[in-house]
A and B are shown apart, each in its own frame.
Chain A
Amino acid sequence: MAETICRALRDGAMEGEHAPALTIKDTINTPLGSFVFNHMLTQLTSNILAGKSQSRGIVLVALSRPPSFYAEVLKNKGFDVSSSSKWLRVLDCYSDPLGWKNKLIESGTIRNPYEETVLKTSLCKNLKELDEVLSSIVELGKEIVEEGKGRFAVAIDSVSEILRHSSLPSVARILSHLRSHDQVSCIFCLLHVDLHEAKVASTLEYLSTMHADVEPIVQRTNEQRSTSEDLPMMEQCFKRGKFHVRFKRRNGRVRVMREELYVEGSGIKFTEVSSVDGLTAQSLVPKVQFNLELSEKERLDRAKVVLPFEHQGTGKPIQIYDGRKSLNESETEEKQASVEKPQTTEDSGRGEIIYFRDSDDEMPDSDEDPDDDLDI
């Protein structure tokens, strides 16, 4: 399913339609959104380098991580960062989003605060002017693609940072402007949902064709941010999460899919949803000092234990009295009766209870009330 997303981003915009947009959302309980973002970034990069994708390159708007971080991410995935200027431009909104460093240089307080990186970056010194940001994104994109033809992808990490400086309507305007731009192939962005009001997430969902939610494996029942109670659970939340994706088709149909993701070595892996697998189940059992598991030998020993109320048999067929004489029992009794007949005539003074069952339909020892049909 993560593959489906990557394919949609790779295929890009269709003729006469807006560019597909993906919003990746996470919360502080499972802060794995940036992993998903990096995954999408590297997948799209490899598609671009293989010439499979519609877009020729990526414009990365770096807001919450420095450009050097992305250089490291790409290098770890085995991409040649030194030649990245052919397919990657970074709009650096991280180093100096408000122009403070610029002001400090002008006043002579500091000398050179900017970090150098191998990626080709362009510095944004005023994040509050979103129109300028927009035009620099488009400009950087045009640098990658040849004039007039070709499309580029836009990656924004993260929208939450832009929203701190600008209002929701202006951010929405920028995003829809980018989507409708005829040289944009696709957009994907990251959003930390719990930093904003609920309406922010829904506004961005309206503007995107796919949204991927990273959710905790098990939702906590109490909404309190108390931590000390479920430590194993918390530890899991930093490694694993549910990946919940909604695709919006053109005709309005929505397809929902679920996967699980876990952080591993140098990236993330997506797996089919398993209802309860061993690791989660184990982590859900509270850590106690008793051993709740049985070894194979203990299991066999347990199977051998004879319960005191169980019919032991000891070689003979097990007979359970059900109120009727069983077939072979009645045979032996008949023989006995023929033998003992003279005795009974002698002993006629003894009383006995004779019970005839009404019919065979009646279940022996049935629970039903015998006086049920009484009409009083």
Chain B
Amino acid sequence: MPTGKKKRKKSLRGMDNSLLEEAVGIADNRGRVVVVVEDCVETSGAFVLHHFLKRSLHPDSSDVVVFIAFAHPFSHYDRILRKMGCNLTVQRKNQRFLFLDMLTLECPDRNEREAREDGLLALYGEIEKAVEIYSSLEGSRTITIMIDDVSLMEVAANGSSNHVLDFLHYCYSLKEKYGCSFVTLNHEDIYSSANTLPLILQPEYLADVIIKAEPLATGLASDVHGQLTVLNKGSACDLGGSSSKVRNFHFRVKENNVDYFYPGTRT
């Protein structure tokens, strides 16, 4: 549907976050994108996740989101997205938003390694089943899988980062067959030792876009809440091509949207 696409593009441009959209650069190249969002204690990157959520659930598209929440209950996201002009409850009824509440997921600690694996295996089964059903429906749609966040998944898996990486590997393998996209949130500053570092590095190797939320190097400011660095590997991580680019800009999180601007363009 070319008209729908055009309309969607136009409305995206009107959303006043074109800087992020442009840096990520996936507006045209829909689907099959792996986005890794990394934040730190000083600067939360949750708003980037909300941005992608709103973008996928835009009324002009028919894209579907599978949201795996380890961090917050449904009501939390519902409240935030409602202020941004997107009603999650309605989307959930319309079968466009699948919310998997994993707050209670506990892979039992009774020594068994299998139990941990089973917990994640069951979760993966649920995701793949949903993806299979969605992709068998009529019409073309991108299925985006979001995880908030990976570090809490590690907690649920009793600190076994290998199991989490296995789970992520299986999720990524859905990309080829079903053309899914991925957005995951992780905290960069909690991984320092050699044992845990792979959990942040491995997804970076496989990602197409890495978004880092950091505080300003010059300290706190009242009207700038932090900076985003967007590393877009372009097609570089796939089939060659040197279209990789790096962008850096500041942001200000407001009540119902986020302002993105280049350093020094706001007083």
Chain A interface (Cβ within 8 Å of chain B)? 28, 31, 34-35, 64, 66, 68-69, 72-73, 76, 94-98, 100-101, 103-104, 107, 109-111, 113-115, 160, 164-165, 192, 194-195, 197, 225-229, 231-232, 234-235, 238-239, 262-268
Contact = CB atoms under 8 A, between A and B. Distances in A.
A241 B231 CA distance: 17
Interface in B103-137: 117, 121, 124-126, 128-129, 132
B207 to A, nearest CB: 10
Contacts of A192: 201-202, 205
Interface in B219-261: 227, 229, 231, 233, 236-242, 244-248
Contacts of B173: 66, 94-96
A64 B206 contact: yes
A101 B237 CA distance: 26
14 contacts: A31-B204, A69-B238, A110-B128, A160-B202, A164-B165, A232-B246, A235-B246, A262-B242, A263-B236, A263-B242, A265-B240, A265-B241, A266-B239, A266-B241
A104 B125 contact: yes
- Which 10 interchain pairs have the tightest Cβ spacing? A238-B244, A115-B177, A235-B246, A109-B125, A195-B198, A266-B240, A104-B125, A263-B242, A239-B242, A66-B176
A195 B194 CA distance: 8
Contact of A113 (B177, B204, B233): B177
Given A96-B173, A111-B132, A228-B227, 9 more contacts: A101-B170, A109-B129, A113-B128, A115-B176, A195-B198, A227-B212, A228-B229, A235-B246, A238-B236
Contacts of A231: 229, 246-248
Contact of A268 (B125, B170, B240): B240
B163 to A, nearest CB: 10
B201 A267 contact: no
A197 to B, nearest CB: 6
A125 to B, nearest CB: 13
Contacts, number: 117
Nearest to A32: B236
B188 interface: yes
Contact of B246 (A73, A107, A234, A266): A234
Contact of B242 (A28, A103, A264): A264
Contacts of B240: 35, 76, 263-268
B217 interface: yes
A238 B238 CA distance: 13
B169 interface: yes
A197 B194 CA distance: 7
Contacts of A197: 194
A184 B204 CA distance: 33
Nearest to B169: A97
Nearest to A231: B246
A55 to B, nearest CB: 25
Q: With a 10 A CB-CB cut-off, give which of A64, A228, A232, A239 has the most chain B CB atoms.
A: A228
Nearest to B189: A225
B248 A228 contact: yes
A69 B217 CA distance: 40
B120 to A, nearest CB: 9
A28 B132 contact: no
A107 B194 CA distance: 37
A73 B239 contact: yes
Contacts of A235: 244-246
A136 B182 CA distance: 32
B117 to A, nearest CB: 8
A227 B229 contact: yes
Given A100-B121, A110-B129, A192-B201, A72 B239 contact: yes
B214 interface: yes
Nearest to A63: B169
Contact of A194 (B128, B132, B197): B197
A265 B239 CA distance: 9
B129 to A, nearest CB: 5
A288 to B, nearest CB: 13
A173 B126 CA distance: 38
Contacts of B204: 28, 31
Nearest to B233: A238
Nearest to A103: B121
Contacts of A227: 212, 214, 229, 231
Nearest to B194: A197
A238 to B, nearest CB: 4
Nearest to A127: B166
Contacts of B194: 197
Contacts of B140: none
Contacts of A266: 239-241
